[in-house]
Amino acid sequence: MDIYDKLSDKTVILEINEHFYDQVYEHPWLSKYFQSVSKEHIVQQQTDFMVGALGGPNMFCGRNPTHAHPQMFITDELFDLRKSLLKKSFKALKISEPLEQAWLRIDEAFRGSIVKSSREECKGRWKSDPIIDFVDDRD
């Protein structure tokens, strides 16, 4: 049985994403990477993605994380910061250990294809796509 099937309240996935992205959009550094995306859009997209990844209905129709981030210079430090905010959401919402661990495993599975060691590894999704790089803009 998938973790999704074991959830008594399926809306918890949406609640986690809402809480998490509230933190992301308030964060002085991490929020810079989301300037061109509405919070409502990313919350719904990530909810659809995680529902499917956790074994629920596959409603996600966006790019997978590998193909959604080639133009972004995301370091291990930035990835870890994102992960720390996600863990804060799990704690604040009193999320069960099995759901938290399953979610974090899914996130970690994409680290190698999202994290880059230099700006030169970034490439636009199309010719006019700018490289998104706020690595040196920490507040």
- Residue 56 — very low, low, confident or very high, per pLDDT cuts 50/70/90? very high
Query: Range of 54's domain?
Result: 10-120
How many C-beta atoms lie closer than 10 Å to residue 98's C-beta? Answer: 11
Say how far apart CA 32 and CA 116 lie, in whole Å. Answer: 17
Q: Residue 135 falls within a domain, yes or no?
A: no
Q: Residue 5 falls within a domain, yes or no?
A: no
Share of the chain above pLDDT 90, in %: 75
Q: Residue 137 falls within a domain, yes or no?
A: no
Say how far apart CA 94 and CA 86 lie, in whole Å. Answer: 12
pTM of the model: 0.91
Q: Residue 18 falls within a domain, yes or no?
A: yes
CATH of the domain at 114: 1.10.490.10
The string of pLDDT tens digits covering residues 110-127 is 999 999 999 999 898 888
The string of pLDDT tens digits covering residues 82-92 is 999 999 999 99
Q: How many domains does one find in the chain?
A: 1
Q: Residue 83 falls within a domain, yes or no?
A: yes
Residue 136 has pLDDT above 90, yes or no: no
The three-class DSSP label of residue 3 is helix
pLDDT at residue number 78: 95
- Residue 129 — very low, low, confident or very high, per pLDDT cuts 50/70/90? confident
Residue 100 has pLDDT above 90, yes or no: yes
**Residue 123 exposed, middle or buried by CB count within 10 Å (0-12, 13-18, 19+):** exposed
**Residues ≥6 apart with Cβ < 8 Å to 98:** 3, 6
Q: Residue 112 falls within a domain, yes or no?
A: yes
Q: 21-52 b/e with 16+ CB inside 10 Å = b?
A: bebbbebeebeebbeeeeeeebbbbbbbbbbe
Q: Residue 26 falls within a domain, yes or no?
A: yes
Q: 55-75 b/e with 16+ CB inside 10 Å = b?
A: ebeeebeeeebeeebbebbbe
Average pLDDT value for residue range 4-22 = 97
Q: Residue 138 falls within a domain, yes or no?
A: no
Average pLDDT, the chain: 93
The helix-helix angle for 12-26 and 76-92 (nearest 10°) equals 130
